[in-house]
A = this chain, B = another copy of it.
Amino acid sequence: MKNMATSNFKQAPRSETAEKILDLAEMLIQTRGCSAFSYKDISDVLGVRKAGIHYHFEFKTDLGVAVVDRYTEPFGKALANIAGNKSSSSMAMLIARYAEFADTPDRVCLCGALAGEIPALLLKLRDRVDRFFTTHQWWLAEIPKRAVARGEFKLSGSASKTARLVFAALQGALVVRRTTADASQMTDIISALKSQLASA
């Protein structure tokens, strides 16, 4: 787990079209999943032929990897930021940040969406999803540990188990919310999570 905090995915600067393709692909994966979207979905919107997309991203898996890398980077920064914050509510900040980041209606966490079809993905992409999850759960354990060290609150159970619960609940909440299209699905779960943590 060494150097987990600083693992990064530096990205080459990209053309404007490439960024638009990434935007659309990200949205499509989050709403429909990776297998259910095609280059046509993207080319239709951009007004080029399907093959035009292949120039920017030769294979679909490459496109998927690029989307994940771009998605992952600011997320990791936000977590590091929260961990460094010395104020008294880092855990709440963390949950809020997480919820907000995936706050677009109909979207789940990008990596949550991909995790749902892991066996259908090529290894390269699978690894990215795996890494995203591992990193996040590491942070979710690390942040409360630091808060405890600062005397912010006490921890009853194991930090890593609690971290896993929080992470799973957030990922699951995004999925459940989608079926009912009911925003309270998300807010209820977050409030339950907070009150559980407060008493821990």
Residues of A whose CB lies within 8 Å of any CB of B are: 31-33, 35-36, 106, 108, 112-113, 115-120, 126, 129-130, 133-134, 137, 156-158, 160-162, 164-165, 167-173, 175-176, 178-180, 185, 188-189, 191-193, 195-196, 199-200
Task: Report the bound CA distance from A20 to B57 in whole Å.
Answer: 39
Sample 8 A-B pairs with CB under 8 A, ordered by A number. Answer: A112-B116, A115-B178, A126-B179, A158-B192, A168-B185, A168-B189, A169-B169, A171-B176
Overall SS of chain A's interface:
helix
CB distance from A191 to the nearest CB of B (A): 6
Give the nearest-CB partner of A137 in chain B: B176
Residues of chain B within 8 A (CB-CB) of A33 are: 33, 35-36, 116-117, 120
